[in-house]
Structure 1
Amino acid sequence: MGVAQGAWHSRNAGITGLERLEALEDLRTLKARYFYHLDRQDGVRRGAVFTRDATLDVSSQFPDSDPADFRLTGIAAIVALVSGMTAGVVSAHHGHTPILETD
């Protein structure tokens, strides 16, 4: 058993290998949906990938601004910020080689 497998087993003693694979695939799908709806400027569907109490902190990307302006809680606030930042932008996001872990 490699280090990565050993670390996984110690953190995930309550789930099976199949459950872990299913969870990882769910995360990949969620990420793909987020990118898909981001690139299509579909805020409603993009917002559907977040939980009601989701948080987004992109304050480090705007060091000259008030950090509170870029620390958001809730779907509506996140969708509004991201929609405002991407309005009129043509994008094509790719999610290659993700680092995914289950806890």
Structure 2
Amino acid sequence: MERVILLTSTVKPYIGGFAGTVEKRLQEYEDAISYYLQETTFDIVVVDNSNYLFRNSNKRLRSYAFLADPEDFKYGKGFGEAKIISYAFKHDAGLQKAEQVIK
């Protein structure tokens, strides 16, 4: 069974009041990516809506980045999450073919 892990991220949020710092958020995302690369055999797709592109030489990691429309934030985190997921499926062929997506 073809399984793919989908990680969504916002390294640099437009709005203030988010938990921690940009550096802390980035470290947490990188730690998660490293964990899944070490502990699983699944491909990993990471999509960031603050235009941060994760770099890693591992062939199992595919990273995408785009800049969300600032107006999207007024609709809440769930709306932004849905847009990231939609972007991922539109741009990653492996995700489109996966039998199971782990979010």
Q: TM-score, normalised by structure 1?
A: 0.29
Structure number with greater CO (CA < 8 Å, separation at least 6) is 2
Structure index of larger Rg: 1
Larger fraction in helix? 1
Which structure has more strand as a fraction of its residues? 2
- Normalising by structure 2, what TM-score? 0.29
